């Protein structure tokens, strides 16, 4: 089964818990979270709280988590 | 308060997880929340119950874990508590292990958002406090537990 064919049906869903804390999930599984530091930077971490990167905008942080989870999907077949 | 309550119930008892929402009869001050937590932790410790409380803008969402009998006893007391109303059971299911084994009643202050969630985002607490379908409720419960653990680890 093609990973590419699977992707549209397994889009990331996003949720806000606080104004400075967001989580991304796919099929109910956590991909990671976005935490806004006091400096205003968006810190992206995976589901094990391992840092992925820091970004100036929420959109950039979302793109980074999406890309990191897509990479994991490509490598393992599961994010 | 963190505690090791994971020894109860015994291996032969069924472990149950219960999540409910309720509405405070009036907005709780920090002192009132502290008093509630103190009471809950003492009671839960005695019953071998673990869990987590979240409070935002006059609404509670509470996670409880323990034996079915102890949770039933606890919920009877909770339902009679005059400090809240409109109790709704969101999740009531058997579990194989506790999510909050280190907390007799974990709590991390949750700030009220300044505005609506960004476009394309659900609001986790709203899903739980105001009702959503079973799939979204289960997802929101996992998100809130995840947030609590990340915040508590700092």
Q: How crowded is residue B77: how many other Cβ atoms within 10 Å of its Cβ?
A: 12
Count of structural domains within chain B: 1
Mean pLDDT of B90-100: 94
**pTM listed for this prediction:** 0.85
If pLDDT is split at 50, 70 and 90, which confidence band does B154 have? Answer: confident
User: Which residues in chain B touch residue A33, judged by CB atoms under 8 angstroms apart?
Assistant: 146-147, 150
Percent of chain B residues topping a pLDDT of 90: 81
- Is B8 a residue whose pLDDT tops 80? no
More confident residue, B112 or A2: B112
Per-residue burial over B37-74, b = 16 or more CB atoms within 10 Å of its CB, e = otherwise: beebbebbbebbbbbbbbbbeebbbbbbbbbeebbeeb
Residue B66, in any domain of the structure? yes
Q: Which residues of B touch A21 (CB under 8 A)?
A: 147, 150-151
Is residue B10 in some structural domain? no
CATH number at residue B22: 3.30.70.100
Predicted complex ipTM exceeds 0.90: no
B83 lies in which domain range? 15-108+120-153
Q: Are A24 and A11 in contact (CB under 8 A)?
A: no
pLDDT less than 70: residues of chain A: 1-10, 72-79
Classify residue B6: in a domain, yes or no: no
Question: Which pLDDT score, from 0 to 100, does residue A29 have?
Answer: 85
């Amino acid at each position: 089964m093609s990973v590419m064919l699977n992707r549209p049906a397994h889009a990331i869903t996003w949720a806000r818990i606080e104004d400075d804390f967001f989580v991304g999930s796919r099929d109910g599984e956590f991909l990671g979270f976005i935490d806004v530091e006091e400096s205003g930077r968006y810190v992206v971490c995976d589901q094990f709280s391992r840092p992925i990167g820091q970004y100036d905008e929420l959109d950039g942080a979302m793109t980074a988590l999406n890309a990191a989870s897509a990479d994991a999907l490509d490598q393992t077949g599961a994010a | 308060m963190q505690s090791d309550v994971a020894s109860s119930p015994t291996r032969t008892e069924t472990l149950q997880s219960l999540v409910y929402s309720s509405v405070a009869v009036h907005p709780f001050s920090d002192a009132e929340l502290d008093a509630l937590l103190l009471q809950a932790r003492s009671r839960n410790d005695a019953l071998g119950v673990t869990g987590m409380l979240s409070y935002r803008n006059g609404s509670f969402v509470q996670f409880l874990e323990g034996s079915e009998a102890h949770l039933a006893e606890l919920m009877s007391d909770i339902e009679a508590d005059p400090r809240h109303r409109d109790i709704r059971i969101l999740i009531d299911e058997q579990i194989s292990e506790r999510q909050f084994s280190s907390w007799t009643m974990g709590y991390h202050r949750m700030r009220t958002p300044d505005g609506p969630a960004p476009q394309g985002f659900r609001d986790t607490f709203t899903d739980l406090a105001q009702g959503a379908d079973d799939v979204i409720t289960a997802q929101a419960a996992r998100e809130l537990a995840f947030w609590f653990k990340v915040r508590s680890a700092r």
